[in-house]
Structure 1
Amino acid sequence: MPQLSFDELGIPLREVTFVVVDLETTGGSAGTDAITEVGAVKVRGGERLGELSTLVDPGTGIAPSVVALTGITRAMVTGAPRIGAVLPSLLEFCAGAVLVAHNAPFDTGFLRAACARHDLAWPRPAVLCTARLARAVLPAGETPTVRLSALAELFGTTTRPTHRALDDARATVEVLHALLERVGNLGVHSLEELLALAASAAGTRPTDAQRRNRKLAEHLPNAPGVYLFRGAREEVLYVGTSGDLRKRVRSYFTAAERRRRVRDMVAQAVRVDAVECAHALEARVRELRLIGAHRPRYNRRSRTPNHAWWVALTDEPFPRLSVVNRPRDGALGPFRARALAVAAVDALQDAVPIRRCTQRISARAPKGSACVLAELGRCGAPCTGRQSVADYAPLAEAVAGLFAGRSDGPLDTLAEEVGRLATDERFEAAAVRRDRLADLIGALDRAQRLTALAALPELTAAHPDGAGGWEFAVIRHGRLASAGVARRGVPPMPVVEALLAGAETARTGPGPLFGAPEEEVSALLRWVDRPGTRLVLAATPWAEPARGAGRWRPWLAKSVARTRADKSS
């Protein structure tokens, strides 16, 4: 099943409906109609809700060794329904429940294959394997094996396995209940925690430190926000965010948490603090700010919020492109890795014959020898005096205009070159240039969209909260200045007015993002871009450049699709 997020934790085990399934087969593979018997038992909260049992005609013979094991003969299944007739009833019986089986991959493999052969959609239920659960729960040495018969003996079940489907399903129910009685001691109280425990390898049970520190989560609210694990010296060990603080922090003290690094962190924690937030966006922004402020040793990401790379024109008579780690007005970026910035420079130099050398060239009658690039016609050689400051200026303006979205001529140049290479059947070279152009367009588009948002002195946006209300965010120069909610039935505009009155003042800095951290601006842009978001108020109109990279998004989409096709061929 898909991995569940920690915000989805919390379905109490007593409220979960389980359907325990067992199959008997001919001994053939899942690729054939090899099922001879189906047994299923539905339970919830320790109560048996129903049973389903039927023989199945496989339409083929049964191996003698299987007949000896199960007692099911060819004569017994003759006249029984075929699996195609049984499946609809079985799937209906299992609808909405967690599917349980001992050695579950075996049973679910046969059922999925049968559904595929008979054009029935496999419902993809949550699946729990009692064999794997037993390995994770039972201490080493308590039982030599996790075979169903051994577990039935260990727990003294009233029904013992007989290699008949319904008997084995009933025995598995009793084994399941016995295992569920033990998981509470491991800090497992919800379905998701149980599934994570069963999916874990044996030996990943909660440590003593996890069990000892479980109390640290008890005071936390069931609300969205940010949590901070603190050590003995009040140092912040780890910062995280969740839609439900209490449930998320509780998960650190159960078998659902298997990361060794995090287990080490939990062992050192003496307190967990929490900051309640209005909604997930505020929690994300506060998480970024707290990580940047405290730089917790157990957080691996977002520890250096202002560390980024930019591509900028140097300030000299004959400007060149330079990769810098401080934002400058008019620069392109931010890039999260220097290699990405260097790649953008390479693409720009292919589009505009701006000089590539790093020497500083004086405007006064420069003298020097031309390089190879000048001989190839890829540089005007201002170092030799062949190109004056006035002649060179349009090249720098072309780059500056591309960054600002005033002109996209250099992109046309690169696109034409890709077309020429393809026409000349130089397909590999065309693909390289196409991918380089695609990366440049993506960088420009992202930079221009981030810049457009950061340029707004104030923007108030609203997004539906999914329950008839609204989530609000007041954004000032790329920073979250205020956040709040108007629940269903609450007039929204008074809430907006209160948020504006209490909003933080944005202290701006240099660069296209006005000093705002890239990760925060990106988080705000993703939130504003979500379907359903409405712009409520804006101090100035939000506008993106008319000749910006946004015009090239259709070309970019085709290029990405073509690149994927090339890689798959």
Structure 2
Amino acid sequence: MTSRTRENSLQDSFADLGVPLWDTTFCVVDLETTGGAETDSITEIGAVKVRGGEVLGEFQTLVNPHTHIPPLVAVLTGITNQMVASAPPISEALPAFLEFAHGTVLVAHNARFDVGFLRRNCAELGYPWPKFGILDTVALARHILLADEVPDCKLSTLARHFHTTATPNHRALTDAQATVDVLHALIERVGNLGVGTYEELREFTRKVSPQRRSKRSWAKELPEAPGVYFFVADDQLSGDPEARQILYVGKSSNLRRRVRSYFTAAEKRPRMEEMIRVATGVEAYPCQTPLHAEVTELRMIATHAPRYNRRSKFPERQQWIKITTDAYPRLSRVAQVKEDGATYFGPFSRRQQTDDVIDALYDAFPIRQCTQRLSPTRPSPACALAEMHRCAAPCDGSISVEGYHDLVEQVRDTLTRDVRGACTALRLRLRRLVAEQRYEEAEILRRRLAALLDAGARFHRVSSLAGCRQIVAARWVAPDWQIHVIRHGRLAAAGLSKPGEVPQAVARALIATAETVPAPIGPQSGATVEETLRIADWMEQPGVRLIDIDGDWAWPLHGVLSHEQLVGHVLGA
């Protein structure tokens, strides 16, 4: 089922978008201090609580800073040392203000200054800072007013521009009263732009373009459920008015909330701003579970290659390491796995990864690196690597066929069963490099070994799932059981067992309708490596229960080493 939202969607309701402005309680606050530095103290707190244009209450108190008020500050504010001598200290005034402002959105003219003082004093006194919403009338004015309307955004300038009832005079309550009028005037200015909630009002301070905000209603009809969303644009070249091209694909556990975030300042990627400008609508595909959504996203990206998905611009070019079936086997890079009896290890998406793993094997085992076909009966001249003792030199008979095959078995064992052999082989070389202070070479060796271990972990996680014809597993995520059918490493079906349903019965129904997945060749998965790894992540979460399994989902005991185990093997601990 796909839900589709186009540009002609209806306006969102207040409930959909956030807290309506008429129902938002604002606490407009202003402070007077002994100066502007962080070490200065508060001398007065003034605040006005308003909702829907109505004043609900006012708060004003002088504060004894227990320090001298500079003469210039006293002249500016009119607050003298004598006036604050009998005033309560901040330890008494601050809790009273926090109680007055409880449950409101804090508003201040240059909120960073006022809120910063309040937060620091809370921290110093050990009071937890309440989770206030914050609104700055300076930032609002800069984004709402035109450049030729006011010369600056000082409170006194805005008060004259909007003809406020209170005139700012550097006293906390009076300045807060003037800020209330400025706030209401700014809200009136954006009302005709469709701004009806506190959340939308904040977006004006975050450099969100009007074109982007205007498309926020696209999220209205999307479900609050897991699934995949995709931004689309009309395909003008096709001639079909219903045709569209997919610009971007994403996933979410809550489709409506995630899509809505693209039209707010929470989305900061420049490419997304461009994409939203081009898009003409949003479509969604609800999914049964978050894992189902992850897998669907990967498949859609692979199918449609959306231009705004970075992954779609770099399609995976898989490489495998193959141990050939020659008389003297060697390592070879290949693009695909065949049914030829050879051993395959991988896959790798980048050439550097393949090179690092092959070089790690060459560092650990002296198998041949040449590519010509060698004959066990006709010796040929040895190369320079043999003279450097980097190759066992089967070409000139320095090692027997049986001895060379034993060496190749050690390589095969490292790749498929036990990586400790490579770690042990590299121990002396790494120690020697460090002792000789050849740190750059030691770092290269360490990087190669890390690449081998990472590739081994990925190989065993993928191949263990790929080898199972079917796994049916469930995990409890209140209030439902998430049930998945996995066949050869591919998600074949997903569903939920809701309260009152029998999970086993839901699982049987999913098995009956699950996708048929042919057995892949060799260690390959029936899906992309990324999909199988996502499935492995889910399978390895605590609380996953196996309902049915056809095959062995297991890793070799020493096929993967932890960091501590690696250090122990390499350093001989």
Same fold, TM-score > 0.5, yes or no: yes
Q: What displacement does 1:335 show? A: 3.2
Hey, what does 1:566 align to over in structure 2?
none
Distance 1:95 1:289 in 2: 48
Is contact 1:186–1:211 with CA below 8 Å preserved after alignment? no
Hey, what does 2:367 align to over in structure 1?
354
Tell me if 1:284 matches 2:297.
no
* Deviation readout 1:331-358 (Å, 9 max, x if unpaired): 3333343222222222222222222334
Is contact 1:196–1:256 with CA below 8 Å preserved after alignment? no
Match of 1:322 among 321, 326, 332: 332
Counterpart mapping for 1:500-511 below 5 A: 500-511=511-522
Is contact 2:467–2:551 with CA below 8 Å preserved after alignment? no
* Deviation readout 1:292-320 (Å, 9 max, x if unpaired): 11111222224566533433334433333
Q: What displacement does 1:290 show? A: 0.9
* Change beyond 3 A, Cα 1:179–1:469: farther
* Change beyond 3 A, Cα 1:332–1:180: farther
Q: What displacement does 1:52 show? A: 4.4
Match of 1:552 among 556, 562, 566: 562
**SS of alignment partner, residue 235 of structure 1:** strand
* Change beyond 3 A, Cα 1:338–1:122: farther
* Change beyond 3 A, Cα 1:239–1:431: closer
* Change beyond 3 A, Cα 1:270–1:538: same
Distance 1:295 1:122 in 2: 46
Distance 2:137 2:567 in 1: 46
* Deviation readout 1:503-535 (Å, 9 max, x if unpaired): 112234335232421221122222233344333
* Deviation readout 1:411-455 (Å, 9 max, x if unpaired): 222345445655677666655544543343233223212222232
Hey, what does 2:142 align to over in structure 1?
135
Counterpart mapping for 1:141-220 below 5 A: 141-180=148-187, 194-200=201-207, 204-207=208-211, 210=212, 216-220=218-222
Match of 2:398 among 361, 374, 386: 386
Distance 1:335 1:190 in 2: 50
Hey, what does 2:64 align to over in structure 1?
57
* Deviation readout 1:191-226 (Å, 9 max, x if unpaired): 6555554233xxx4222xx46655654543333222
Q: Which amino acid is 2:345 matched to?
A: L
Match of 2:509 among 491, 495, 498: 498
Distance 2:200 2:522 in 1: 46
* Change beyond 3 A, Cα 1:384–1:116: farther
Distance 2:264 2:193 in 1: 6
Hey, what does 2:417 align to over in structure 1?
405
Hey, what does 2:274 align to over in structure 1?
264
Distance 2:485 2:155 in 1: 59
Q: What displacement does 1:488 show? A: 3.9
Distance 1:84 1:327 in 2: 73
**SS of alignment partner, residue 331 of structure 1:** strand
Distance 1:451 1:17 in 2: 58
Q: Which amino acid is 1:206 matched to?
A: P
Q: What displacement does 1:284 show? A: 1.6
* Change beyond 3 A, Cα 1:304–1:78: same
**SS of alignment partner, residue 301 of structure 1:** helix
* Change beyond 3 A, Cα 1:423–1:251: closer
Is contact 1:230–1:269 with CA below 8 Å preserved after alignment? yes
- When structure 1 is superposed on structure 2, of 254-263 and 408-417 the one drifting more is 254-263
* Change beyond 3 A, Cα 1:453–1:45: farther
* Deviation readout 1:83-138 (Å, 9 max, x if unpaired): 34544555566666554433222233333443444455556755443322332334
Q: Which amino acid is 1:280 matched to?
A: P
Q: What displacement does 1:289 show? A: 0.7
Hey, what does 1:78 align to over in structure 2?
85
Distance 1:126 1:340 in 2: 48
Distance 2:251 2:190 in 1: 26
Task: Flag structure 2 segments of 5+ consecutive residues without an equivalent.
Answer: 1-15, 236-243
Distance 2:154 2:267 in 1: 27
Counterpart mapping for 1:26-65 below 5 A: 26-30=34-38, 32-42=39-49, 52-65=59-72
Tell me if 1:473 matches 2:484.
yes
Hey, what does 2:73 align to over in structure 1?
66
Which TM-score applies when normalising by structure 1? Answer: 0.82
| Structure ID, larger Rg | 2
* Deviation readout 1:39-58 (Å, 9 max, x if unpaired): 34555666666554432222
Match of 2:252 among 230, 242, 258: 242
* Change beyond 3 A, Cα 1:75–1:271: same
Which TM-score applies when normalising by structure 2? Answer: 0.82
Q: Which amino acid is 2:224 matched to?
A: N
Tell me if 1:443 matches 2:455.
yes
Distance 2:355 2:444 in 1: 16
